[in-house]
Structure 1
């Protein structure tokens, strides 16, 4: 997909929220119960996303004038990587992760950690992340994965 990656701005929050909510409802819902999806959605409204953009390094993938993906970096932890359902499987996630890795290397980060959804585990594995342990928040299972940037 022809898109560009740039730093997210607070005024991107409504569009980023839309991407996240659509991905949760359409993609992650295949692997999680409706109650888990409902709980997760509550944390990604426009105001919450605006706050996240202000707290971490956040990026958006733009195709034309549309936000089609997002990713964040909180220290050495990769957060909130989502791609619009109609843009999934077209390289957007890889482009976002390449930017996360570039910024991490520039900051001297040696190892990235990502709390992966069940849905995204194979995506991160394809990028060289290894499962370290499982984490559970109620009925939500998250796979903690790591990747050394020194060996990449």
Structure 2
């Protein structure tokens, strides 16, 4: 996506419905290739608009906004990156990378020297391209999560 066609900004309460829709679409269209239906359903149950609003009270939530509206989201929960999702129709346009660059800036501003992300199987390659290294696998029932880490260095 060319610069100027998208902005990254802090999410506001009015974004909760759009964030919920993007996450649910991504889970059902993209992550469903790597996880069984019961795992997708269990994860999806955590992302209603009301649940998104509740998370906004305890996390730094960002949204990527283009002409079509909110097209992606990511959040920082202490030193943990959470809920990084891009609308399935917008994959491959640099939106996820732009969101992650903004998350790294927030982390550095908070004095953090590393970020951890509990990655889905689906997103492992994405995070690896951004410099995250695998620490371990975790299982929650049949849901496999790959815990990854990136060391941060302040800009020169």
* TM interval, short-chain normalised: over 0.9
What 5-or-longer segments of structure 2 have no aligned partner?
A: none
What is the CA RMSD across the aligned residues, in angstroms?
1.1
Residue number among 35, 44, 49 corresponding to 1:46 in the alignment:
49
1:84 equivalent among 79, 83, 87: 87
For the residue of structure 2 that corresponds to 1:18, the secondary structure is helix
Show the counterpart of 2:126: 123
Structure 1: segments with no counterpart, 5+ residues: none
Q: Secondary structure at the match of 1:55?
A: coil
Alignment partner of 2:12 out of 9, 14, 19:
9
- The answer to whether residue 76 in structure 2 is matched with residue 73 in structure 1 is yes
2:31 and 2:135 mapped to 1: Cα distance?
21
Structure 2 distance, partners of 1:64, 1:36, is 32
* Matched-pair contact (CA < 8 Å) for 1:79–1:115: yes
Q: Secondary structure at 1:5's aligned position in 2?
A: strand
**Does the 8 Å CA contact 1:115/1:143 hold for their aligned counterparts?**
yes
The equivalent of 1:20 in structure 2 is 23
Question: How many residues end up aligned between the 2 structures?
Answer: 152
TM-superposition CA deviations, 1:46-87 (whole Å, max 9, x none): 000111111100000000151000000000000000000001
Counterpart of 1:110 in structure 2 is 113
1:94 partnered with 2:97: yes
1:37 aligned to 2:40? yes
Runs of 4+ in structure 1 off by over 4 angstroms are none
Alpha-carbon distance, 1:150 to partner? 2.5
Answer whether contact 1:71 1:97 (CA < 8 A) is retained: yes
Once the two structures are TM-superposed, the CA of residue 11 in structure 1 deviates from its matched residue by 1.3
